[in-house]
Amino acid sequence: MTTPLDWLIVGGGVHGTHLSHVLVNRAGVAPDRVRVLDPQEHPVETFWRVTGATGMRYLRSPGVHHVDLHPHALRRFAKKGDGKRLARFVYPYDRPGLEFFRAHTEHVVREHRLGSLRERCRATAITRLGEGYRVETNQGALDARRVVLALGLGEQLCVPSWARPLGGDARVQHIFSATFSREAAAAARSVAIVGGGISAAQLACALTAAGTEVTVVARHAPRIHRFDSDPEWLGPKAMSGFSRTRDPRERRRLIAAARHRGSMPPEIASDLRRELRCARAKWIEAEPVSADVTAAGVRLRLDRAPHLIEVDRVVLATGFEVHRPGGALLGEEAIDRLGLPCADCGYPLVSPRLEWASGLFVTGPLAELELGPTARNIAGARAAGERLLAVA
């Protein structure tokens, strides 16, 4: 670019895609003044890969949460064309089917030409300019007056210490690894899934449907919650008190207490119980302590009875590391150089309009000390869009 952009969004997932839509089609920023940096070929590509890996059929989010602007856009899409053919909602809160949600997202991207805003590259460094920032990428540099960091947790998989020495073996993989294939797992005779949340339960049901013997190894019994945090966190009932809390450590405590980590909604739990009753799946409450890969498969040792199970493959449904996302882009050297304030937990301390430093904004996990426990979700993307409208 010969002149600085008005807005540069780093990250092209649900958050980056929605915010680019907000800036161009609600705030009225000229399309040639906005760019979205993303190493993936297509918008929201990592989200499709992750949800597809689990065998997800319906989103956990309500139908008013999506990448379009109007809350009821998904319902309108369901009344015509491909939307009408694919429309699927599940009670309660009109949670959309994944295939239908994907069709709507692709419709929004196509209809509003959001793909034309994208630059396929990876941001590697951020430097402050006199007015704005320079973002270095593996394809060159871009200057912008304002930068939005829309970085998710997708590149920081939580791999237990006992599994790390086996990282190069395809028989022990994280479910969200770029190389994981649900079809390959389904071809195995037996699979152990380590983890006790929604991803583990969805994958277990998908694999048993393919005839695979499944053993779920979890530290706890199934935890049943409709959402990953209670609906009150979407409005003032919980958020007003959160916003009045000024101590970042207390805010972090409130977020941790609000999140139902390792949980699943009732209908997924019901599907899983059916598989357990029919003995197509087993649930073992234990903690793996080590694993060995042999010619015959994988031996997984547990800290309690039955102490040892032998399977063809092990899938880690252990989620993501919760430290500040961004890798080297937001490493300690970059934080110090840019003078960015952080809480004790390492996450940004930002203004109510999500500004970390003059002209540098955040969304997603990076915004959770301001937006609360739903910051990472689709609801968080929509909340961030409302905050940025006050600036654009």
Q: Which residues 6+ apart lie within 8 Å of 106 measured at CB?
A: none
pLDDT at 248 over 60: yes
Measuring CA to CA, how many Å separate 19 from each of 90, 98, 233, 387, 389? 27, 21, 21, 10, 10
Specify the pLDDT at position 167. Answer: 83
pLDDT at 247 over 60: yes
Structure tokens given for 364? 């997603």
Burial 77-99 (b: 16+ CB within 10 A, else e): bbeeeebeebbebeeebebbbbe
Sheet holding 297-302, edge to edge: 288-294, 297-302, 308-311
pLDDT at 74 over 80: yes
Q: For residue 92, what pLDDT band results from cuts at 50, 70 and 90? A: confident
Determine the average pLDDT of the residues in 192-199. Answer: 98
Determine the average pLDDT of the residues in 129-157. Answer: 95
Specify the pLDDT at position 284. Answer: 98
Q: Determine whether 294 is exposed, middle or buried from the number of CB atoms within 10 Å of its CB (0-12, 13-18, 19+).
A: exposed
Determine how many CB atoms are found less than 10 A away from the CB of residue 137. Answer: 17
Q: In the chain, what percentage of residues exceed pLDDT 70?
A: 99
What is the distance of C-alpha 89 from the center of its chain?
21
Structure tokens given for 273? 């119980």
Specify the pLDDT at position 91. Answer: 87
Specify the pLDDT at position 305. Answer: 94
CATH annotation of 161-225+260-316: 3.50.50.60
pLDDT at 4 over 60: yes
Q: Looking at the domain 5-155+322-389, which fold is it?
A: FAD/NAD(P)-binding domain (3.50.50)
**Per-residue pLDDT tens for 283-307?**
999 999 999 999 999 999 999 999 9
**Per-residue pLDDT tens for 327-368?**
999 999 999 999 999 999 999 999 999 999 999 999 999 999
Determine the average pLDDT of the residues in 168-197. Answer: 96
Bridge partners of 112, per DSSP, are none
Where exactly are the structural domains of the chain? 5-155+322-389, 161-225+260-316
Specify the pLDDT at position 58. Answer: 97
The reply to whether domains 5-155+322-389 and 161-225+260-316 share a CATH topology is yes
pLDDT at 385 over 70: yes
* Contact assessment for residue 363 and residue 250, using Cβ atoms and an 8 Å cutoff: no
Determine how many CB atoms are found less than 10 A away from the CB of residue 332. Answer: 10
**Per-residue pLDDT tens for 77-91?**
999 998 999 999 998
Amino acid in the structure at residue 164: R
pLDDT at 2 over 70: no
Q: For residue 392, what pLDDT band results from cuts at 50, 70 and 90? A: confident
Q: Determine whether 273 is exposed, middle or buried from the number of CB atoms within 10 Å of its CB (0-12, 13-18, 19+).
A: middle
Specify the pLDDT at position 212. Answer: 97
pTM of the model: 0.95
